[in-house]
Chains A and B, each alone.
Chain A
């Protein structure tokens, strides 16, 4: 049974750095083709994928946010950490982590999601 849970601050000030942790169970990031992604959703708006990290430590970032994001993994702790620098009120959103499932057909998708954590950026 796969579960994921996000943790981190609920309130950050503008210009601060946000650090979020995704703690998961039921799978290992040592397993080939496994990945974990961070997706955010501003209130009332659409989903946006921020970053993905894979079993082989390959990483992909949203082109528009790449300069502000860092994603890392700790396989011994079953955790994935996302840092986002220079936070702004427009970054207020619910942040989700999700398990990426890959199929040999070449398709993949997010099949398990955490409950999400609302981060508010305000002074």
Chain B
């Protein structure tokens, strides 16, 4: 079965750039999206189609996908960005989520 691998945790200082990776076999040949989830809340779509931002998502969120890795980048990270982030794709109609990355802003 297809798997997506994320680092369990990433730390970043306020104002700096955070990068969260998501690895999977030939992931660049598929589309990837990213969800943000804060404690006690439902997931929120922050990136779709590799690099598109839904309406209302700040410009500091960006995405890329090439080779075996999709990357979520948060520029000028703010304290409110502290959350869990999940990548997602699909393989043969099966939805696949990554294991999630806890972003700490300190």
Residues of A with Cβ closer than 8 Å to B? 37, 39, 46-49, 52, 60, 62-64, 96, 103, 105-111, 113-116
Given contacts A46-B86, A47-B43, whether A106 and B98 have CB atoms under 8 Å apart is: no
Q: Are B86 and A47 in contact (CB under 8 A)?
A: yes
Instruction: Output the least CB separation between B10 and chain A (Å).
Output: 15
Instruction: Output the least CB separation between A24 and chain B (Å).
Output: 14
Mark B41-56 against chain A: 1 for CB-CB distance below 8 A, else 0.
0111100110000100
- Chain B residues in 8 Å Cβ range of A63: 1, 94
Q: How many contacts A-B (CB < 8 Å)? A: 56
- Chain A residues in 8 Å Cβ range of B45: 109-111
What are 8 sample pairs from A and B whose C-beta atoms fall under 8 A apart?
Answer: A46-B100, A47-B86, A47-B100, A48-B97, A49-B97, A107-B31, A113-B44, A115-B42
Please, how many residues of chain B have a CB less than 8 angstroms from a CB on the other chain?
Answer: 22
- Chain A residues in 8 Å Cβ range of B100: 46-47
Residues of B with Cβ closer than 8 Å to A? 1, 31, 33, 35, 42-45, 48-49, 54, 86, 88, 90, 93-100
Q: Which of A39, A47, A60, A113 has the most CB of B within 10 A?
A: A47
Q: How far is the CA of A110 from the CA of B34 in the complex (A)?
A: 10
Q: Are A107 and B48 in contact (CB under 8 A)?
A: yes
Q: Are A116 and B42 in contact (CB under 8 A)?
A: yes
- Chain B residues in 8 Å Cβ range of A64: 1
